[in-house]
Structure 1
Amino acid sequence: MRKLSVLLVFGILLSACKKNDDKTISDISKTKSDTIQTKSVTSTETGHSESLLEQFSKNKNEVVLKLKTLSNKEANALYEKYSEENSSLLQQIAEKESAVLDKFYHEDETDKKAVKLLGEKLSKHQLEFWEIGEGYVEIEPLHDFYYTIFKDYVTSDYKEYLHLKSEENKTLYSADAGLVISFKDLGDRIISWENFMTKYPDSKLIVSVKEEYKNYQMDYLVGQDNTPTAERATDEKYIYPENIQEFNRFMKKYPKSPTVPLINLFMENFKSESIFDLLRAEQDKL
Structure 2
Amino acid sequence: MVKKTLAVCMLSVLVFSCKKEASKVSEPRIPNDSIAKTEIKKDLFKPIDTVYSPENSTEDYMKALHYYQSKTEKEISAGSPEQNNKVYEDYVEVRSKYTEGLSRLHTDILDKYVNYYDSGSDSYKFPENIKKLAAQFKKEGLEFREVGEGYTEIWSVPDHYFTLFKNKVTPDYNAYIAQMAIEAKNNYAADAGLIISWEELGERLIFWENFMKKYPASQLLKTVKKDYNNYLHDYLYGMDNTPTYETADGKLYDENRNEYKRIIKKYPNSYTAKRAQEFLNLFDAQLPVDQIREKMNVENDY
TM-score, normalised to structure 2, is 0.74
Deviations 1:237-275 (A, max 9, x none): 211111111111110001011012211222233532143
Amino acid of the structure 1 residue aligned with 2:70: N
Find the counterpart in structure 2 of residue 112 from structure 1: 126
Alpha-carbon offset, residue 123 of structure 1: 1.1
**8 Å contact kept, 1:130–1:138:** yes
Find the counterpart in structure 2 of residue 265 from structure 1: 278
CA RMSD after TM alignment: 2.3
Find the counterpart in structure 1 of residue 85 from structure 2: 76
Amino acid of the structure 2 residue aligned with 1:278: K
**Distance across 2 between alignment mates of 1:264 and 1:158:** 31
Give the secondary-structure state (helix, strand or coil) at the position aligned to 1:273.
helix
Alpha-carbon offset, residue 281 of structure 1: 6.0
Find the counterpart in structure 2 of residue 93 from structure 1: 102
- From 143, 147, 155, the equivalent of 1:140 is 155
**Distance across 2 between alignment mates of 1:279 and 1:102:** 40
**Distance across 2 between alignment mates of 1:123 and 1:279:** 44
- From 111, 120, 132, the equivalent of 1:102 is 111
Identify unmatched segments of 5+ residues in structure 1.
1-43
**8 Å contact kept, 2:76–2:84:** yes
**8 Å contact kept, 2:110–2:152:** yes
Find the counterpart in structure 2 of residue 244 from structure 1: 257
**Distance across 2 between alignment mates of 1:273 and 1:175:** 25
Amino acid of the structure 2 residue aligned with 1:62: K
1:114-263 matches, cutoff 5 A: 114-232=129-247, 234=248, 236-263=249-276
Matched, 1:64 2:94: no
Aligned residues: 238
**8 Å contact kept, 2:208–2:224:** yes
**8 Å contact kept, 2:54–2:105:** no
Find the counterpart in structure 2 of residue 27 from structure 1: none
**8 Å contact kept, 2:66–2:140:** yes
- Say if 1:45 and 1:83 are closer, same or farther in 2 by CA, change over 3 A: closer
Structure 1, 113-122 or 142-151: larger mean CA deviation: 113-122
Find the counterpart in structure 2 of residue 55 from structure 1: 64
TM-score, normalised to structure 1, is 0.78
- Say if 1:281 and 1:51 are closer, same or farther in 2 by CA, change over 3 A: closer
Q: Identity of counterpart residues, as a percentage?
A: 37
Find the counterpart in structure 2 of residue 22 from structure 1: none
Deviations 1:162-183 (A, max 9, x none): 1111111111101111111000
**Distance across 2 between alignment mates of 1:207 and 1:156:** 17
**Distance across 2 between alignment mates of 1:149 and 1:210:** 25
Give the secondary-structure state (helix, strand or coil) at the position aligned to 1:106.
helix
